[in-house]
Structures are given as C-alpha cells and as structure tokens.
Amino acid sequence: MNSLIQRAYNFNAGPSALPLEVLEKAQQELIDFRGTGMSVMELSHRSAAYEEVHNHAITLLKELLSIPDEYEVLFLQGGGSLQFSMVPMNFLKPGEQAGYIMTGSWSEKAFAEAKLFGDPYHVFSNKESQYRRIPQFEELQYNPTDAYIHLTSNNTIYGTQWSDFPNTGEVPLIADMSSDILSQPFDVSKFALIYAGAQKNLGPSGVTVAIIRKDMIEKGNANIPTMLKYSTHSKNNSLYNTPPTFGIYMLGEVLNWIKELGGINTLGERNKQKAKLIYDVIDQSNGFYVGHAEPESRSLMNITFRVNDEELEKKFLSEAKLEGFVGVNGHRSVGGCRASTYNSVPYETCKAFSEFMIHFQNTNR
Ligand code: PMP
C-alpha cells in the first residue's frame, strides 16, 4: 500500500468504497493490460483478452455464491432501476397478479413499474411504521397463481435486511439484492431471479448482475424490445451488444479479492463484526443514539440511526464530516444518519466511526 495516500473513511451508500488492493491492481494494469499494450477499456469486447475477463467474472460469481447449474449469470445495464421494469415486462401480462413484499422505498419503486404491466398487489407492507422491520414468514399471504413474488433483500434507506428467505414453492421468488449481494451466505436455489446493481457490494456502477433460473428465461414475454429480454442476454453470454467492459473487469477483481479473503462465509462474519461495532454503541448509549430498525431486522449493510436531539444531530453530522467520515447523512428522503458498511468498507473504518460516536456522546451529554 502506498502509505502517502490517505484513504477516506467512506460510508457512501452507493457508489461506495472499493477494496484498496483492487484499485491498486487496476492502476497497475491500466496502461498495459496483461501485455495487450492497451487498457481493458480499449480492448474489443469481441477479443480473446476481454472474453477471458468476462467469463472469469461469471465463473467466480458462480463459485462464490455456489450457484447451481440450472442458473445463468447475466451482466446487464440500467441499474437496479431498469430491473424494476424488466421484471414485470418479462414475467407479467395484463390481468396477471404478482405479489410485492413492501419493505421500503425501493420496493415501492419496483411496485410502481409492475403496475404498468399487470396487477401487482402488496403481500405485506409496514410503511405506516416507517419500514422498521422485515416481515415474519407467517405474515406473507400470497396467491399460488401469482406470476411471481418480489422482495428487496436489504433496504438501503431504512436499514433493514432479510436474514433468511421464504420458500415460495411453485411461485417464482424474485429479489432485488442491490445493496447486500454477497454480504452473507444465502441459498440461491430459493430464487427464480436475483438482480443487483454492482455499485455497492460488487464493483463500480454501470454493471447490473442478474442470476436467473433457466426455466424463467424461457418464460419471458416475447413481444418486448430485444434489449429488455433476459433471453437476448442469455443467448449471447451477455455480449449481445457492447457490455460495460471496465466495470465487469473491476467486478471480477472484487470477486478475486473476496475469494482471497476466504469467500462469502468469511465476508459474512467480517460484516457482522463491523456492524456490531456500531450497533453496540447505539445500544449502549442510553437513548442518546436511536436505531431506526427493530433489532431482529437490522441490516449489516446500512446502519440507520438518529441522535436524540435535532440540533445535536446536526452537530454530529458536521463533526463527523470534519473528522473525515464521508457519507454519514441519512438518505435525503428520511434524514437522520446512516453508515453504509458494505463488503469493501474496512473493519478499521467502522472501528474509527464507533469511537467517534462514543467520543461525541461523551462530550455532548
Ligand atoms: N434497489 C436498491 C435496494 C437500491 O439501494 C438501489 C439504489 N440505491 C436501487 C435498487 C436502484 O439502483 P440503481 O441506482 O442502480 O438503478
């Protein structure tokens, strides 16, 4: 590591921190990528050198998530937001129902797009209590004839996260995992489709990952634009058109970093320890800090809390900024404070923030 470089304490909600090791490797390879005499960005997406990068990222994601053979990994564009539209466009027809489990603003955005194509309904919503918790499985009443059930695995704005997923049997389960993919082990085989924008846990913005069961690809509606069909990207190994090549390269390098760290189990444990540092300060603050999420629903990725006095909260945020903590303001729609502790955020960054929180409380009681 170049000791002259001062890396920020980066708690941005996305795009967010990337591992220093990955940035340094990309820097080293930037001008002459593995003897090609050009950067990855300048390679043809039809060249063997790029194809290796592309296929390596797919293979490694399959390995790290133990993705069964009946699934495909696709690299798409348009972010999580385009998936909100592509899902109903492909899998919902006029008059058909799909169940949406509403646990935050991103579920609302996904639901709004589905309304354009069919008859989605709320399987569950706790909007009236500010989305403080994830539902119990018993609360999920849906129709066995639904085209699919959709959930948001981690609620970036409210700071709640599913720790286990329901088994929906014959009804395809679709998840937006934009803000927690690869943050802890989970069973891919419960899902028909998983999608995630890369810019929080996987790499830079510009790439969206989809993990899709092959039978779903076949089921997609035929009369939609070519670029918006999952089948187009599946038939062409995500090379139907020019993919975001540099982003996919970076994603592959982030996956290498995760593998070297010990894989998803190690990462999951590390994420728990990081989040605990901050939640412990909240819990031991005698109400000085107030967590937003109910404890059983707490996110390991986005820790949302308030300081119990509005003026003090402003002071907290401005002092945090002065101390070099970046991105600690809550989302503009809800206010408060939020520390996003994604996979690449180092333990030391979380430790420094927890110490700052304790110090702030001690000097402002
Ligand atoms: N889903 C979730 C859970 C998100 O947190 C976000 C972005 N913060 C989105 C979807 C939208 O992603 P994008 O900006 O890539 O469209």
Share of the chain above pLDDT 70, in %: 99
> 3-class DSSP state for residue 155?
strand
How high is the pLDDT of residue 6? 83
Determine whether 162 is an active site residue: no
Tokens encoding 142: 């849906």
Burial class (CB in 10 A: 0-12, 13-18, 19+), 348: exposed
CA 322/CA 11 separation, integer angstroms = 14
Domains and CATH numbers, the chain: 24-260 (3.40.640.10), 263-363 (3.90.1150.10)
List the residue whose alpha carbon is closest to atom 14 of ligand 1.
79
> 3-class DSSP state for residue 119?
strand
How high is the pLDDT of residue 188? 98
For residues 56 and 253, the answer to whether their CB atoms sit within 8 Å is: no
Of the residues 156, 180, 183, 304, which should be mutated to test ligand 1's pocket, given the most ligand atoms within 8 Å of the CB?
156
- Other CB atoms within a 10 A radius of the CB of residue 38 amount to 14
Distance 102 CA to ligand 1 centre (A): 15
Nearest to 44 by CA among 247, 242, 253: 242
How high is the pLDDT of residue 332? 81
CA 271/CA 306 separation, integer angstroms = 22
The DSSP output letter for 43 is S
How high is the pLDDT of residue 4? 57
**What would the pLDDT profile of 241-292 be if each residue is shown by its tens digit?**
999 999 999 999 999 999 999 999 999 999 999 999 999 999 999 999 999 9
DSSP line for 167-208? --TTSPEEEE-TTTTTSS---GGG-SEEEEETTTTTSSTT-E
Which residues in the chain come in under a pLDDT of 70?
A: 1-5
Distance 82 CA to ligand 1 centre (A): 10
The active-site residue, picked from 176, 180, 257, 274, is: 176
How high is the pLDDT of residue 303? 98
- Other CB atoms within a 10 A radius of the CB of residue 26 amount to 18
**What would the pLDDT profile of 89-124 be if each residue is shown by its tens digit?**
999 999 999 999 999 999 999 999 999 999 999 999
Distance 80 CA to ligand 1 centre (A): 5
How high is the pLDDT of residue 365? 81
